[in-house]
Amino acid sequence: MNTLASRDPDRDINIEVPLLTRVEGEGSLELTARNGRIETLQLSIFEPPRLFEKFLEGQDYTEVPHIAARVCGVCPIAYQMTSIRAMEKIFGVVEDPWVHAMRRVIYYGEWLQSHALHINLFAAPDFLGFADALEMASRFPDEVKRGMQLQGLGNDMLRLLGGRSVHPIGLRVGGFHRAPPKHEVADLVDKLLAARDMVREFVAWAVSLPCPVDEQTFVSVAIRHPREYGLNEGRLASDQGLDIDFADYPRHFREHQVAHSTAHYSMMDGRSYFLGPLARMNLNFDRLPLEIQDFARDLGLKFPARNMFMNVAARALECYLAIVDTLNILQRYKLPTRPWQDFTPRAGVGHHCTEAPRGMIYHRFELDANGRVIIATMIPPTSQNQARLEQNLHVAVERFGLNHPDDALRDLCEKVIRNYDPCLSCSTHFLKLKVTRGE
Amino acid sequence: MTDTLVAGIGSPHGADRLGWAVIEALRSMTLPASVALMCCSLPAELTSRLLETPRVIVIDALLGSGPAGKIHHLCAADLPQAGLRLSSHGVGLVDAVLLASALGMPADRLSVLALDVMHPETELDPAWIDGLARCVCGLLDAPH
């Protein structure tokens, strides 16, 4: 290996990764350094703008969940659920306990399939020194199969309530189109029970991966709920004292454009902030079921954590949570009289946040008296994380040292980026006709 | 006990719905009880099925050079060279099969029936769906 050989840190460094792999969407990385100082370190997202907010204008509220789901094939529930809850607030719908519980189940399905995919096929090859999951599969076949089984279980959870795992069709404003019959729920409960030991082994394995240590200073932001692990209801909180209603999001969070990326950058009260599994765990560890808290402690985990790569451990613990909490809900399953609530469309503005697998997502909808969309705003986690991610890259590269060979610097940067599990497609949510590019 | 899985890959719209349309056609036919049918959106979901099912027949749309409607019968080894439509999130059918192969899938387990639709917007001809359904039945009748 030549990666440990030292190089002149004052040399001219020009590293370009034209297309990042094992992330969703299209983006590149540019690192230039002169005389021992970083000049440019940018994650450039060149995925074309998606225009979904404009597509939604003029659409009936009933169409919104189906259109919003198309923003992302990995986390459609995040887009559906957040838009549905924002519109329910306009219509005065108070979430029914059955609907609330089932919404958690389908959201957990999305977390499980997304997290298992990321840990298994995207992150683990980084830490174990393989070029990709295919190469890793030949050395760790049982581990890869286990990750795929968990991913498949997440898809089963999505299908139970959504009808299908990609762009589910079961959700509607007011609840669900269909309540699954008891025998379908019982089948899933059997699978969840069978997966309980498996997910503990998965967490232990994920925690044992030789992750780098990358201690950083950052602000964690996530949903906090009085009783539950923040997912689809609660308030927005940070470890720096933020505690606001979702409707106050626009007062604290601001987006701006930069020349090198089609994704927006987001700041909270003028500062970057961090979203995702580690931010959630830092704020909500005490909301985990006790068996998961105890298991985490047994594995030597401690939250809040400042090592960015603890994102992997947090993601794995959330897989465990997805199975335990879904079991808690479905083992007490009762058929509802009807799986949705009635309401009358009316004009207004509604805000809501939920926790997508990659972090908090914010939606604001303004509807007319007939329930048609006047303005839609959908701010995904990856664009909110982008400023923090670039700061993370700067600090990580400076600490690692520019004296390392270019290949080692490139590997480090790619690991840092993949650690966020970024979705570069959904981050490109806005278009301005005039874009001013930097010098 | 399932000994053969027939999986149609696709989505609800355009020529990409071909795989699902063939599965729907097969649902109206009398097939052996040991045959399972599946509409699949994510090829990544196939990897575990390829590892656990003795025989898998996959139906997918192919964006080739024509003529439209031409059926290609492919095996696992053909896939990296075939112009099968790419799937989302970097895990397409080829990736799913390569991963299953790396995890020990026997090479003769998989048959792929890929029909050339040439363009994503091509309107599906009902005769293509019937033809693919007949091909599936032919494979089910043949010894494996």
Question: Pick from A134, A138, A149: which is nearest to B48 by CB?
Answer: A149
Instruction: Please give the structure tokens belonging to residue A242.
Output: 């933020």
CB contact under 8 A, A134 and B48: no
Give per-10-residue mean pLDDT for chain B (144 aa). Answer: 91 88 96 93 85 93 86 85 50 84 91 89 92 95 77
CB contact under 8 A, B41 and A167: yes
Instruction: Give the bridge partners for A362, in sequence order.
Output: A353, A379
Instruction: Please give the structure tokens belonging to residue A294.
Output: 């105890």
Place of tokens 């979702």: A246
Instruction: Give the bridge partners for A173, in sequence order.
Output: none
First and final C-alpha spacing in chain A: 39
Domain boundaries, chain B: 16-72+97-141
Band of the pLDDT at A131, cuts 50, 70, 90? Answer: confident
CB contact under 8 A, A74 and B103: no
Domain contains A35: no
What are A284-302's pLDDT values in tens digits?
A: 999 999 999 999 999 999 9
Instruction: Please give the structure tokens belonging to residue A140.
Output: 């760790």
Amino acid code (one letter) for A337: T
What are B90-127's pLDDT values in tens digits?
A: 567 888 888 999 999 998 999 999 998 888 888 899 99
The answer for residues whose C-beta is within 8 angstroms of residue B24's C-beta and 6 or more apart is B39
Q: Which domain holds residue A202?
A: 52-386
Q: Which candidate in B16, B48, B99, B101 is best for mutational testing of the A interface (most A CBs within 10 A)?
A: B99
Band of the pLDDT at A432, cuts 50, 70, 90? Answer: very low
CB contact under 8 A, A134 and B99: yes
Number of compact structural domains in chain A = 1
Instruction: Give the bridge partners for A351, in sequence order.
Output: A364
Domain contains A12: no
* A46 has a pLDDT exceeding 70: no
Place of tokens 């539950």: A228
Domain contains A38: no
3-state secondary structure of A402: coil
Band of the pLDDT at A439, cuts 50, 70, 90? Answer: very low
CB contact under 8 A, B42 and A144: no
DSSP A245-281: -GGGHHHHEEEE--TT-SSPEEEETTB--B-SHHHHH
Domain contains A40: no
Question: Pick from A138, A144, A165: which is nearest to B42 by CB?
Answer: A165
**How would you write A76-87 as a 3-class SS string?**
HHHHHHHHHHHH
Q: What is the CATH number of the domain that holds A182?
A: 1.10.645.10
The answer for residues whose C-beta is within 8 angstroms of residue A403's C-beta and 6 or more apart is A6, A7, A8, A9
CB contact under 8 A, B102 and A134: yes
Instruction: Please give the structure tokens belonging to residue A328.
Output: 């808690």
Q: How far is CA A150 from the centre of its chain?
A: 17
A383 or A297, higher pLDDT: A297
Asked if the C-beta of A167 comes within 8 angstroms of chain B's C-beta atoms, the answer is yes
Distance separating alpha carbons of residues B131 and B142, to the nearest angstrom = 17
What are A257-269's pLDDT values in tens digits?
A: 777 777 778 899 9
Instruction: Give the bridge partners for B134, in sequence order.
Output: none
A148/chain B closest Cα distance in angstroms: 7
Burial of A436 (0-12, 13-18, 19+ CB in 10 A): exposed
Asked if the C-beta of A73 comes within 8 angstroms of chain B's C-beta atoms, the answer is yes
| Chain B hits for A151, Cβ within 8 Å | 44
* A141 has a pLDDT exceeding 90: yes
